[in-house]
């Protein structure tokens, strides 16, 4: 049986260039090992993709150049939102519609070369593609979006220009136009995303988180010596240092504890948060941005991973920690609420800053009091990753859907 010929549309697609771009790269690089794939992506990704060996064996890459529009738009975004990377991303992503228009123009003459189209990124539910006009079955996602802005964390949300998040809703009137030809299937990451989809598209939903992890990249290490008076509790945070990550809530939770916090990541809040940690007289070590090898080493040395983010739509770092057999603490809102359970860690109340800090503090104290219990949570997390959240598992599900949509055959064979 001939394998489906897939046109993979991934506006963001490059290894090591941010979480969404990494999603595109994982789908492309792993699908290329399974069958014929044509990747269509933005020209800005070209240098990164070619450095990684693209086009990979058995695949083709088509680059779409809209830099005449994307470049000035990004520069304007940076000036408008100097402290909010998420707002820069939202505003500059308007270029996707220009990219998509040009992609359709170039691909239309070649439509008979593919059996179906899979639109992987952007992961926004509002980013509908005109590639449905190619007349091929469309798979969309995994999508992740529609998360409402939490109202009880004004300090962090104001600094993150959270008012701009609602601008995504302006695209909703276009949904009825752009979804006249419905996707044959839509992968949706969570319940918030379900609600953000058009009513017609909700009937095609399959659940799949947009994020995953390579278990061979983050391997389990020996559990560190239990926390004690002579061995402080070791806590790890990994992520961009932007307002919504709310690292000061973790600082507050550490008051009075014999604990050390290692922070991996960089961003506009770094200097402010370094100063806040110093004022609190906490043992916090800022390492800056690090590669996967250093992150794996720090995970091996830590007792627990903590993500205090008050607005997190995904949470890939949580999966990386679980893959390394480390228990996790996160806020019970957004993506983490659907990834973390009591078997692998702890979710803390998201009512307000005080409940978050108090919840984290109580969890950290429990790690100290019951280290064996939390070691077992870490081991459960590793099993959870292998069973449900590896990248190969995502590709298996995707391929299974392709064959299902094509009746177990390719489109031409079914005709």
Domain-wise residue ranges, the chain: 6-212+390-414, 233-388
What are the distances in angstroms from CA 16 to CA 245, 291, 386? Answer: 20, 9, 22
Give residue 408's Cα distance to chain centre.
Answer: 31
Q: Report helix angle 292-301 to 316-323, nearest 10.
A: 60
131/32 Cα distance (integer angstroms): 21
pLDDT for the residue numbered 413: 42
What are the distances in angstroms from CA 34 to CA 6, 40, 249, 356? Answer: 11, 18, 44, 44
Read off the pTM: 0.86
φ and ψ at residue 370, rounded to 5 degrees: -130, 65
| Fold (CATH) for 233-388 | Rossmann fold (3.40.50)
| Fold (CATH) for 6-212+390-414 | Rossmann fold (3.40.50)
pLDDT for the residue numbered 156: 60
What are the distances in angstroms from CA 58 to CA 3, 36, 38, 370? Answer: 12, 6, 9, 52
pLDDT for the residue numbered 127: 85
Residue carrying structure tokens 């859907």: 401
pLDDT for the residue numbered 21: 94
Q: Strands, DSSP E only, in 229-380?
A: 233-238, 259-264, 283-288, 304-307, 328-331, 345-348
Tell me the per-residue pLDDT of 92-138, one tens digit each, with 9 for 90 and over.
788 899 999 999 999 999 999 999 999 999 988 888 899 999 999 99
pLDDT for the residue numbered 163: 44
Residues of the chain with confidence (pLDDT) below 70: 1, 83-87, 154-183, 408-415
41/14 Cα distance (integer angstroms): 10
pLDDT for the residue numbered 414: 36
Q: Provide the token pair at 355.
A: 């409940």
pLDDT for the residue numbered 352: 93
281/251 Cα distance (integer angstroms): 10
φ and ψ at residue 91, rounded to 5 degrees: -70, -45
| Euclidean distance between the first and the last CA atom of the chain, given in angstroms as a whole number | 14
357/360 Cα distance (integer angstroms): 5
Asked if domains 6-212+390-414 and 233-388 share a fold, the reply is yes
pLDDT for the residue numbered 349: 95
pLDDT for the residue numbered 192: 86
Q: Provide the token pair at 214.
A: 């390579």
């Amino acid at each position: 049986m001939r394998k489906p010929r897939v046109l993979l549309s991934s506006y963001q697609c490059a290894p090591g260039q941010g979480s969404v771009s990494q999603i595109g790269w994982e789908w492309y690089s792993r699908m290329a090992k399974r069958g014929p794939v044509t990747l269509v992506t933005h020209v800005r990704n070209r240098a990164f993709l070619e450095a990684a060996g693209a086009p990979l064996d058995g695949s083709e890459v088509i680059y779409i150049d809209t830099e005449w529009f994307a470049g000035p738009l990004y520069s304007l975004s940076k000036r408008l939102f100097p402290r909010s990377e998420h707002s820069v991303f939202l505003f500059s992503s308007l270029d996707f519609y220009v990219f998509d228009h040009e992609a359709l123009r170039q691909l239309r003459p070649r439509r008979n070369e593919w059996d179906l189209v899979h639109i992987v990124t952007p992961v926004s539910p509002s980013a509908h593609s005109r590639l449905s006009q190619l007349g091929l079955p469309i798979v969309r996602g995994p999508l992740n979006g529609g998360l409402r802005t939490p109202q009880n964390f004004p300090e962090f949300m104001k600094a993150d220009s959270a008012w701009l998040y609602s601008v995504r809703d302006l695209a909703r009137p276009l949904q009825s136009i752009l979804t006249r030809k419905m996707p044959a299937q839509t992968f949706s990451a969570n319940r918030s995303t379900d609600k953000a989809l058009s009513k017609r598209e909700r009937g095609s939903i399959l659940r799949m988180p947009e994020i995953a992890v390579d278990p061979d990249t983050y391997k389990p290490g020996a559990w560190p010596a239990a926390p004690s008076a002579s061995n402080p509790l070791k806590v790890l945070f990994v992520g961009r240092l932007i307002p919504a990550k709310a690292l000061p809530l973790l600082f507050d939770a550490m008051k009075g504890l014999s604990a050390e916090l290692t922070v991996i990541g960089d961003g506009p809040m770094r200097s402010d948060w370094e100063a806040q940690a110093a004022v609190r007289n906490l043992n916090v070590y800022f390492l800056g941005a690090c590669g996967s090898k250093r992150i794996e080493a720090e995970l091996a040395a830590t007792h627990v991973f903590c993500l205090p983010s008050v607005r997190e739509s995904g949470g890939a770092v949580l999966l990386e920690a679980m893959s390394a057999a480390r228990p996790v603490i996160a806020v019970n809102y957004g993506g983490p609420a659907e990834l973390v359970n009591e078997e692998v860690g702890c979710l803390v109340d998201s009512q307000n800053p005080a409940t978050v800090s108090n919840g984290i503090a109580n969890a950290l104290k429990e790690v100290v009091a019951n280290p064996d219990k939390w070691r077992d949570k870490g081991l459960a997390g590793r099993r959870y990753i292998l069973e449900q959240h590896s990248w190969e598992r995502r590709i298996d599900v995707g391929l299974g859907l392709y064959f299902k949509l094509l009746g177990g055959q390719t489109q031409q064979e079914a005709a």
